Chains A and B, each alone.
Chain A
Amino acid sequence: MRARAGERWRARLVRLPPLIWLTAFFLVPFLITLKISLSDAATAMPPYLPVLDWQGGREGWASFLEALDFENYAVLWFDTFYRDAALSSLAYAGTASLVLVLFGTPLAYALARAPARLQTLLVALVVVPFWTSFLVRVYAWIAILKPEGLLNAGLLRLGLIARPLEILNTPAAVLIGLVYAYLPFMVLPLYAVMSRLDGSLREAAADLGAGPVRAFWSVTLPLAAPGIAAGALLCFIPMVGEFVIPDLLGGSDTLMLGRVLWSEFFSNRDWPLASAVAVLLLLIVIGPVLLFRGAGREAAR
């Protein structure tokens, strides 16, 4: 009995540090954000009201709770600016996810079908940009897309266009940036699923007279569907709250929630409204996060 009790304590010592750390620095901050989203902005430090008076006892708590309200959420709901930002975030992330599925699926399939001796190298080549500085990779596109940039210089020289195209600071540039930055996130989980598929099923389809396109369409694709769903969600979730890409590649009129939150916080110093935007963003991604866990579990099977 004593040995079992000792084991239990050791197990607790193993799981408590990450549990306590992540509760303190991930879960509790959310609750604080939720609370501050119900506060009002103030010109003080911290710049919001009410601040709980710990010495105030029960009256302190009562007056604190009374001062909380849903004003910021009313702003989010009735001011079309925030509604448009939410809808356009969803549109950008949704469109980019679709493009990623269309482009990432054949790429992952090609990786999985590559000769075995090349596969490790090819996968490593896809992984490296995944870890390479996000900021740098987005920044690299500015030099390519701007009016006097490389893309326009090349197209002009080839005589394909008469005047430089306006791409930088348009929705097209934001989409290019999203697809580029998140492509490895799409390809890697998909490759993991496709490389484990049983090749004999494909051969059976071929033996039964299916061409490569038909075999891919009716055998590989249905089997890889959970991987496609997992990859698309893995991209969609962070893209909805993306800040760097719309900020650097989009125009001043590119509305995305991550950017709105950023400017409410840093430019307007309206912490409560920024918190409300964070809660809204969280509500938007929580569904996909739960779906992702389901899809991930199915893909792992």
Chain B
Amino acid sequence: MSLFLRAVLGLGLAFLYAPILVLAAYSFNASRLVTVWGGFSTRWYAALLADGPLVAAAWVSLRVALASGAVATVLGTLAALALARHGRFRSRPLLVGLVFAPMVMPEVIVGLSLLLLFVGIGLDRGVGTLVIAHATFCTGFVAVVVGARLRGLDRSLEEAAADLGAGPVRVFATVTLPLLGPAVLAGFLLAFTLSLDDLVIASFVSGPGATTLPMRLYSQVRLGVNPEINAASTLLVLAVTLAVLGASHLSARR
């Protein structure tokens, strides 16, 4: 590798990580000021745990992420199966569009239009509407992860099971699903992190009493930099990093 490419790589990674590392470092700063280092301290982490609304918001986020991740995993896996295995069917272009469009669509559009639907059908806004909204925009990501695995799958194993007399449901349950397992789990983890991270869509579709962690953080961030948010952010980054490492470990496993 040439010196130039090495420099590009170093610079790129430094650019990606410097802000996160600065944030993490200052979460251990005893001083309240960002530019003054007042010594090492974990006081902001202690303050976090005592912050009732923040802890409550974290619980809401966790519940929503688990539930919407589960729904998105089922829908995304089914969509991936249909797209990879069913050849050409009439609704295929529609399904392709519906699966992939939510992944690139600006979040403000998805959030606003879902809210208008919920108001239109008279659904009370809260955890339930958050779960529906998050499951909707996460489905595509699960479908991509599971679809990639499905295309790499050796079909002869399923054919062998069918030749040995297993019905299609049995083939799916005993051969396809176990082979697909790591990718399905990876898809779930990605949906989980996306849900945990979403601010914009959640702000539209959530109601009183269902404030998520990013919504709570955002309302604090608007008031300026504060070391307690640094601590909360560091924990969030840590949780997401672990989930991503877990997901990439699972999807890399053969």
Binding site for B on A (CB under 8 A): 7, 10-11, 14-15, 17-19, 21-23, 25-30, 32-33, 36, 46, 103, 106-107, 109-111, 113-115, 120, 122, 124-129, 131-137, 139-144, 146, 148-150, 153, 180, 183-184, 187, 212, 234, 237-238, 240-244, 248, 257-258, 261-262, 265-266, 271, 274-275, 278, 281-282, 285, 289, 292-293
Contact = CB atoms under 8 A, between A and B. Distances in A.
Interface string B24-55: 00100000001100000000000000000000
B75 A17 contact: yes
A267 to B, nearest CB: 13
Nearest to A282: B109
Contacts of B119: 46
From A18, A278, A285, residue with most partner B Cβ within 10 Å = A18
A278 B109 contact: yes
A258 B108 contact: yes
Contacts of A19: 91, 94-95, 98
B244 A128 contact: yes
Contacts of B99: 18, 22
B95 A18 contact: yes
Q: Which 4 pairs across A and B sit closest by C-beta, in order of nearness?
A: A241-B106, A29-B113, A15-B82, A140-B19
A27 B98 CA distance: 8
Contacts of A237: 104-106
B101 A243 contact: no
Given A183-B16, A187-B12, 16 more contacts: A11-B82, A15-B86, A17-B78, A22-B99, A25-B117, A25-B136, A113-B1, A139-B229, A139-B233, A140-B20, A144-B18, A183-B12, A241-B106, A242-B106, A243-B107, A248-B222
Nearest to A238: B106
B206 interface: no
A113 B5 contact: yes
A289 B214 CA distance: 28
Contacts of B9: 107, 110-111, 114, 122
Interface stretch (B152-160, B177-185, B192-200): B192-200
B61 to A, nearest CB: 11
Contact of B79 (A18, A144, A146, A180): A18
A143 B34 contact: yes
Interface of B: 1-2, 5-6, 8-9, 12-13, 15-20, 22-23, 26, 34-35, 74-76, 78-79, 81-82, 86, 89, 91, 94-95, 98-102, 104-110, 112-114, 116-117, 119-120, 132-133, 135-136, 139, 143, 168-169, 190, 193-194, 196-197, 199-200, 203-204, 214, 217-218, 221-222, 224-225, 229-230, 233, 236-237, 240-241, 243-245, 248, 252
B20 A292 contact: no
Given A18-B99, A29-B113, A115-B1, A129 B17 contact: yes
A258 B111 CA distance: 11
A15 B91 contact: yes
B78 A18 contact: yes
Contacts of B19: 137, 140-141, 144, 180
B20 A132 contact: yes
- The A interface is mostly helix, strand or loop, or mixed, namely helix
Nearest to B112: A278
10 contacts: A7-B168, A22-B102, A26-B102, A33-B112, A107-B12, A110-B8, A114-B5, A127-B248, A136-B236, A278-B112
Contact of A132 (B8, B107, B136, B240): B240
A143 B78 contact: no
A237 B34 CA distance: 34
From A21, A136, A140, A261, residue with most partner B Cβ within 10 Å = A136
Nearest to A104: B12
A281 B109 contact: yes
A139 B5 contact: no
Contacts of A127: 244, 248
A193 to B, nearest CB: 15
Contacts of A132: 20, 237, 240-241, 244
Contacts of A29: 110, 113-114, 116-117
Nearest to B169: A10
A289 B106 CA distance: 11
A180 B15 CA distance: 8
B33 to A, nearest CB: 8
B101 A26 contact: yes
Contact of A32 (B8, B120, B194, B214): B120
A29 to B, nearest CB: 4
Contacts of A128: 241, 244-245
